Amino acid sequence: MEISLAHYLALAAVLFGIGLFGVLTRRNAVGILMSIELMFNAVNINLVAFNRFVTPADFTGQIFSIFVIVVAAAEATVGLAIVLLIYRNFRDIFVDNINLMKW
């Protein structure tokens, strides 16, 4: 029994689907950000798995997954700052109640 590339890609696809479901259904803005983190992790599993199986001689996939992690950290920081600001102004972080700019 050997774990092949397809196993890792299937795991990443399922994890991405879970994150997608969370983004589509969560009302809490922090919950949406957590679901986005799940999707980032699915992409990173794909990058590292392709690095391991398709280009094992260089580290391109691992380096790009480092960049994805850094951008995810920046996104979480700014996103949570925006969530805190919204909470301070509206006393609410449920995204279906924050419809000030919705026509």
Partner 1 sequence: MNSTIIPYLFYLFSFMIVVSGLLVVTLRNIFHCALFLIICLFSVAGVYVLLGADFIAAVQVLLYVGAIAVLMIFAIMLTAKVSGIGIKQQNEQVPIAIITTVAFVAIALYGLGKTIWNIKTDAVISGDTTMAIGKLLMTTYVVPFEIVSVVLLAALIGAIVIARRN
Q: Is 100 a residue that touches partner 1 (CB under 8 A)?
A: no
Q: Which of residues 32-51 bind partner 1 (CB under 8 A)?
A: 33-35, 37-38, 41, 44-45, 48-49, 51
Q: What is the DSSP letter of 44?
A: H
CB of 86 to partner 1, least distance (A): 9
Q: Is 19 a residue that touches partner 1 (CB under 8 A)?
A: yes
Q: Is 89 a residue that touches partner 1 (CB under 8 A)?
A: no
3 state DSSP class of 103: coil
